Chain A
Amino acid sequence: MNAAAQFENVTQVFGDFTAVDGIDMTIPAGKLTTLLGPSGCGKTTSLRMLAGYTRPTSGRILIDGNDVTRTAPEKRGLGMVFQSYALFPHMTVAENVAYGLKLRRVPRPERDARVAESLELVGLGHLASRKPRALSGGQQQRVALARAIAIRPRLLLLDEPLSNLDARLRVQMRAEIRRIQAETGLTVVLVTHDQDEALEMSDEMILMRAGKIMQQGAPADVFGSPKNRFVADFLGYENFVQTVSGLVTVRPEHVEIVPGTTAPATGLALPAVVTDVAYRGVDQIITVTSRDQNGQVTLMSDVRADDAPRVAIGDDVIVTAPESRLISIEN
């Protein structure tokens, strides 16, 4: 794997809060990597350290193999898109995009061409002379992208770029950012707290919690074999059962509920009581509490509504899942 950026034992402490706790990570070149995790996990701090806005308390940061730990942001040549977009309100769209090029003393004809090209890439060529406040949220987002891309950055950093957009636009922009990444071949690092966004957009996914990296890998690998309870929980596994061989997890869509008390011979089989039945149109979610394990374990089954077993709250059932769907994890 060709590394665009690396973190070596990087720690960031703010007062008595350790935002990032000795992480090592590699950002692959030419790919889209997401930093995923709940708020306060250190993902945004990591991005800001990569951009140079905060200096790590200890550790090293490398970009293209060069140590940039103490390099000012303006000397790093990265493109950053802020959550608030941070468009310069006193400049037009074209002036915003041209800002980085002017600082690089790109001659006028080339500058104009690159501004036009960047705006074209995000589909906003026709709004070049508008002021940012005259644009919708989605358009402002695209301007911020164009401005970052225009300087031909070594890395394109996106801090929760979609969180201020409405639901439909957000899904649309996921594909849009993927397309731009593919067309430009840029190395993109995207921070998000939305697992669907990360799964859909990333080539590489880095899941963080409390300043530490929980798991890194391709989305299918991380989703297919979560290493620990946090990762499984964050990605929607829902069901955790202590068995003789250790903790296992299984996704709700792989859990079957069988009315009655007769258990199958293989795989998971737990006697339980139905505690909730939620009909959701396409599917149905049945929540049960296990009779074993001191009634501590709540399990969830997600089945197609057409095939759903006829069970009601208080019914005795057997919760089953095939052996092949059970994933052993660390607690």
Chain B
Amino acid sequence: MNTRHPVAATLAVAGYIVMIVPILFVVATAFTDGETLSFPPRGFSVRWFGEALSYQPFVGSLVTSLEIALLATVLALAVGVPVTLAIHRGALPGKGLVENLFLSPLIVPELVVGLALFQQLIVTFRIDNWPVLLIGHTALLLPYAVRVTGAALAGSDASLEEAARGLGASPMRAFWTITMPLLRPGIFSAALLSFITSFNNVPLSLLLQSRKTQTLPVTMLDYVQQSYDPMVAAISTIILAATIVIAVIAERTVGFAKIFGGING
């Protein structure tokens, strides 16, 4: 910590406290032996983890959440990466407009998007909730796919592909041997961010859910409105642990600076 900037240092410590302490409370209460979600926890036990993992609504919605997050990420990348390539490398007329279109889900309130999808697809066309949820999440993730992979491309020299072509590579070959390796960290970052964004989403999922199809955050929200036992803290802790594992993998493979540097790139 830099002692020459006491104000900055104090703010940094305050920031850590604000961010981490509430999480510690949740983790601590998850290990309680008592019946209520209270602090300090009463005794030590892991029984609430067992309860959480055998509570069907949590498990079912966790599976739904994972499926939606995974598929929406894949779809968003499948659409977003070619769009990014077209924006950054192609002779696309109105590039700015296209880029703004794909970034717009970041600005338009999710509730509005959710309501629009709900009205059109669920009410009017009577499409099942599950595919609509997938469509909504895919739209939500497109900005990440376009922006984060775009940052990786923008940072690389456009004459690289030309150089490859000049040396004898077909456009396909140049793409796979030059563009793709340069894009890989960007795609990895975009995938990670997308997955987490989808997995954590509440507003969109709230509007597009049904009894049968619910994501975990929505189920948890429902649950804490009705009961106040430590099962919610337990499932939160499980998710936290999983996130930490993902974060460690990301840090080891690409590095956080690279991943999150991509947002502003």
B182 within 8 A of A: yes
Q: Which residues of A contact B170 (CB under 8 A)?
A: 72, 74
A86-B157 in contact (CB<8A): yes
A27 within 8 A of B: no
Q: Which residues of A contact B157 (CB under 8 A)?
A: 84, 86
B165-A88 in contact (CB<8A): no
- Selected from A83, A86, A89, A100, the residue in CB contact (under 8 A) with B168 is A100
In Å, the complex CA distance between A76 and B170 comes to 12
Query: Given the interface contacts A82-B159, A82-B163, does A90 sit within 8 Å of B168 by beta carbon?
Result: no
Chain B proximity of A218: nearest CB distance (Å): 29
B167-A100 in contact (CB<8A): yes
| A99, A104, A151: residue with the most chain B Cβ atoms closer than 10 Å | A99
Chain A proximity of B28: nearest CB distance (Å): 46
In Å, the complex CA distance between A74 and B161 comes to 11
B59 within 8 A of A: no
A78 within 8 A of B: yes
In Å, the complex CA distance between A74 and B164 comes to 8
Interface bits B148-184 vs A (CB < 8 Å: 1, else 0): 0000000011011011111111100100011001100
B182-A74 in contact (CB<8A): no
Number of interface residues of B (CB under 8 A): 18
A77-B168 in contact (CB<8A): yes
- Selected from A53, A84, A90, the residue in CB contact (under 8 A) with B182 is A90
B162-A86 in contact (CB<8A): yes
A99-B166 in contact (CB<8A): no
B162-A53 in contact (CB<8A): yes
In Å, the complex CA distance between A14 and B156 comes to 25
Q: Which residues of A contact B159 (CB under 8 A)?
A: 82-84, 86
Q: B163: nearest residue on chain A (CB-CB)? A: A86
B166-A88 in contact (CB<8A): no
In Å, the complex CA distance between A220 and B188 comes to 57
A73-B165 in contact (CB<8A): yes
Chain A proximity of B160: nearest CB distance (Å): 5
In Å, the complex CA distance between A76 and B157 comes to 22
In Å, the complex CA distance between A6 and B2 comes to 65
A74-B168 in contact (CB<8A): yes
Q: Which residues of B contact A53 (CB under 8 A)?
A: 162, 165-166
- Selected from B156, B160, B167, B177, the residue in CB contact (under 8 A) with A151 is B167
Query: Given the interface contacts A88-B178, A89-B182, A90-B181, does A74 sit within 8 Å of B163 by beta carbon?
Result: no
A74-B165 in contact (CB<8A): yes
B156-A147 in contact (CB<8A): no
Query: Given the interface contacts A86-B162, A88-B178, A90-B181, does A104 sit within 8 Å of B156 by beta carbon?
Result: no
A231 within 8 A of B: no
A273 within 8 A of B: no
In Å, the complex CA distance between A103 and B177 comes to 11
Identify which of residues 72-121 in chain A touch chain B, using a CB-to-CB cut-off of 8 Å.
72-74, 76-80, 82-84, 86-90, 99-100, 103-104
Q: Other CB < 8 Å A-B pairs besides A53-B162, A53-B166, A104-B168, 20 of them?
A: A52-B165, A72-B165, A73-B166, A74-B166, A74-B168, A74-B170, A79-B166, A80-B162, A84-B157, A86-B160, A87-B163, A88-B164, A88-B178, A89-B156, A90-B182, A100-B168, A103-B167, A147-B163, A151-B167, A151-B168
28 pairs across A/B with beta carbons < 8 Å?
A: A53-B162, A53-B166, A72-B170, A74-B169, A74-B170, A78-B166, A79-B166, A80-B163, A80-B166, A83-B159, A86-B157, A86-B160, A86-B162, A88-B163, A88-B178, A89-B156, A90-B181, A99-B164, A99-B177, A100-B167, A100-B168, A103-B169, A103-B173, A147-B163, A147-B167, A148-B167, A151-B167, A151-B168
